[in-house]
Amino acid sequence: MTTAAEQPCYTLINIPSDAEPPTELQLKTDLEKGDVRTKTEALKKVIHMILNGEKMPSLLMTIIRFVMPLQDHTIKKLLLIFWEIVPKCGPDGKMLHEFILVCDAYRKDLQHPNEFIRGSTLRFLCKLKEPELLEPLMPSIRTCLEHRHSYVRRNAVLAIFTIYKNFDSLIPDGPELIHNFLEQEQDASCKRNAFMMLIHADQERALDYLSTCIDQLHTFGDILQLVIVELVYKVCHANPSERARFIRCIYNLLNSSSPAVRYEAAGTLVTLSSAPTAIKAAASCYIELIVKESDNNVKLIVLDRLIALKDNPQHERVLQDLVMDILRVLSTPDLEVRKKTLNLALDLVSSRNVEELVLVLKKEVIKTNDITEHEDTDKYRQLLVRTLHSCSIKFPDMAGTVIPVLMEFLSDQNELAAADVLVFVREAIQRFDQLKHVILEKLLEVFPSIKSVKIHRAALWILGEYCTTAEDIQALMHEIRHSLGDIPIVESEMKKAAGEIKDEDEFTPTQQKLLTAEGTYATQSALTATVKKSSEEKRPPLRGFLMDGDFFVGASLATTLTKLAIRYGELVHNTKKHNSFNAECMLIMATIIHLGKSGLATKPITDDDLDRIALCLKVLSDRTPAVNDIFSRECRHSLSTMLAALHEEEKENQKTVIEKKTVSVQPDDPISFMQLVNKTEHGTTEDLFELSLLQAVGTPQKKDAADPQASKLQKVNQLTGFSDPVYAEAYVHVNQYDIVLDVLIVNQTSDTLQSVTLELATLGDLKLVEKPSPIILAPHDFANIKANVKVASTENGIIFGNIVYDVSGAASDRNCVVLNDIHIDIMDYIVPAQCSDNEFRQMWAEFEWENKVTVNTSITDLGTYMGHLLKSTNMKSLTPEKALSGECGFMAANLYARSIFGEDVLANLSIEKMIHLGEDAPVQGHIRIRAKSQGMALSMGDKVNMCQKNPPK
How does pLDDT run across 832-869, given as a tens digit for each residue?
A: 888 777 778 888 888 888 888 888 888 777 878 888 88
Which of these ranges, 304-308, 908-912, 945-949, has the smallest mean pLDDT? 945-949
Report which of 926, 913, 829 is spatially closest to residue 869, judged by C-alpha positions. Answer: 926
Collect all residues with Cβ–Cβ distance below 8 Å to 223 and sequence separation of at least 6. Answer: 188, 189, 192
Q: From CA 188, how far away is CA 190, in angstroms rounded?
A: 6
Paired residues of 88 in beta bridges: none
Half-sphere exposure of 270 (CA within 13 A, CB side): 23
Task: Give the best-scoring range by mean pLDDT among 161-165, 420-424, 543-547.
Answer: 161-165
Q: From CA 870, how far away is CA 876, in angstroms rounded?
A: 6
pLDDT above 70 (res 58):
yes
**Residue of 531 and 907 predicted with greater confidence:** 907
Mean pLDDT of 653-678: 58
The answer to whether residue 176 sits within a structural domain is no
What separation in angstroms does the CA of 79 have from each of 82, 83, 102, 117, 887? 5, 6, 10, 11, 77
Q: Are 778 and 925 in the same domain?
A: no
Q: Are 773 and 745 in the same domain?
A: yes
pLDDT above 70 (res 783):
yes
Q: Are 374 and 460 in the same domain?
A: no
**Residue of 171 and 535 predicted with greater confidence:** 171
The answer to whether residue 94 sits within a structural domain is no
Paired residues of 740 in beta bridges: 733, 788
Q: Are 720 and 835 in the same domain?
A: no
Q: Are 773 and 816 in the same domain?
A: yes
Collect all residues with Cβ–Cβ distance below 8 Å to 515 and sequence separation of at least 6. Answer: 521, 522
pLDDT above 80 (res 236):
no
Q: Identify whether the C-beta of residue 182 lies closer than 8 Å to the C-beta of residue 147.
A: no
At 573-591, the pLDDT tens digits run 777 877 887 788 888 888 8
The answer to whether residue 230 sits within a structural domain is no
Confidence of residue 528 (pLDDT cuts 50, 70, 90): very low
Q: Is 922 helix (H, G, I), strand (E, B) or coil?
A: coil
Say what the pLDDT of residue 3 is: 39
Q: Are 833 and 811 in the same domain?
A: no
Q: From CA 34, how far away is CA 32, in angstroms rounded?
A: 6
Q: Is 759 helix (H, G, I), strand (E, B) or coil?
A: strand
The answer to whether residue 135 sits within a structural domain is no
pLDDT above 50 (res 685):
no
Q: Are 410 and 482 in the same domain?
A: no
The answer to whether residue 290 sits within a structural domain is no
**Residue of 396 and 324 predicted with greater confidence:** 324
Q: Are strands 797-807 and 766-768 parallel, antiparallel or unpaired?
A: unpaired
Domain count, the chain: 4
The answer to whether residue 390 sits within a structural domain is yes
Say what the pLDDT of residue 596 is: 79
Which of 409, 430, 447 is the last residue in one of the domains? 447
Which of 824, 852, 870 is the last residue in one of the domains? 824
Q: From CA 635, how far away is CA 639, in angstroms rounded?
A: 6
In the chain the first and final C-alpha atoms are separated, in Å, by 43
Confidence of residue 126 (pLDDT cuts 50, 70, 90): confident
The residue segments making up the domain with residue 383 are 349-447
At 141-159, the pLDDT tens digits run 888 888 888 888 888 888 8
| Burial zone of 446 (CB within 10 Å; 0-12 exposed, 13-18 middle, 19+ buried) | middle
Q: Are 754 and 899 in the same domain?
A: no
Q: Are 783 and 841 in the same domain?
A: no
Q: Are 820 and 844 in the same domain?
A: no
The answer to whether residue 652 sits within a structural domain is no
**Residue of 803 and 483 predicted with greater confidence:** 803
Q: From CA 889, how far away is CA 861, in angstroms rounded?
A: 9
Q: Secondary structure of the chain: what % helix, strand, coil (to 5)?
A: 60, 15, 25
Phi-psi category of residue 679: left, alpha or beta, with phi > 0 → left and psi -120 to 50 → alpha: alpha
Buried b (16+ CB within 10 A) or exposed e, 294-327: eeeebbeebbebbeebbeeeebbebbeebbebbb
Which of 804, 824, 844 is the last residue in one of the domains? 824
- CATH at 925: 3.30.310.10
At 270-326, the pLDDT tens digits run 887 778 888 888 888 888 888 888 888 888 888 888 888 887 777 777 887 888 888
**Residue of 536 and 886 predicted with greater confidence:** 886
Q: Are 369 and 465 in the same domain?
A: no
Q: Is 708 helix (H, G, I), strand (E, B) or coil?
A: helix
Collect all residues with Cβ–Cβ distance below 8 Å to 663 and sequence separation of at least 6. Answer: 313
> Average model confidence (pLDDT) for the chain?
75
Q: Are 416 and 551 in the same domain?
A: no
pLDDT above 50 (res 761):
yes
Confidence of residue 656 (pLDDT cuts 50, 70, 90): low
Say what the pLDDT of residue 379 is: 77
DSSP 9: P
Say what the pLDDT of residue 538 is: 64
The answer to whether residue 669 sits within a structural domain is no
Say what the pLDDT of residue 506 is: 39
What separation in angstroms does the CA of 668 have from each of 638, 662, 671, 677? 50, 18, 9, 18
Say what the pLDDT of residue 703 is: 43
Mean pLDDT of 224-240: 75
Mean pLDDT of 370-377: 62
